């Protein structure tokens, strides 16, 4: 396993709580999915940049790895433990 793959897995694991800081409970499911996808792309680009591998193949590989890891760990860990929901609740704007 390469360094890029290892870092992509690590970033993907810790990305769902970071996404929860950005997302708002009042947003539609499609907007929430779009924001999560954009965050995964940004995280993958950062991972590639810090590994010195900004070529097309590395970016696609890192993006897929971060995306799949983030979705899987959100469904299997972060959501079930309530961590992501608690973060969203704490960071959501209050209705006026």
Tens-digit pLDDT string for the chain (96 aa): 999 999 999 999 999 999 999 999 889 999 999 999 999 999 999 999 999 999 999 999 999 999 999 999 999 999 999 999 899 889 988 755
Kindly report each contact of residues 75-78 with a partner whose C-beta sits within 8 Å and lies 24 or more positions away, as own/partner.
78/16, 78/17, 78/20
Place of tokens 């704490």: 90
Structural domain spans, the chain = 3-91
What pTM was estimated for this model as a whole?
Answer: 0.90
CA atoms within 13 A on the CB side of 70: 29
Place of tokens 């309530």: 82
């Amino acid at each position: 396993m390469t360094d890029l793959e290892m870092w992509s897995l690590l970033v993907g694991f810790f990305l769902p709580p970071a996404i929860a800081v950005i997302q708002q409970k009042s947003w539609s499911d499609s907007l929430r999915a779009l924001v999560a996808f954009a965050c995964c792309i940004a995280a993958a680009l950062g991972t590639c940049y810090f590994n010195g591998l900004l070529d097309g193949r590395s970016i696609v590989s890192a993006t897929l790895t971060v995306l799949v890891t983030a979705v899987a760990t959100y469904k299997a860990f972060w959501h079930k433990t309530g961590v992501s929901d608690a973060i969203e609740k704490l960071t959501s704007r209050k209705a006026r």
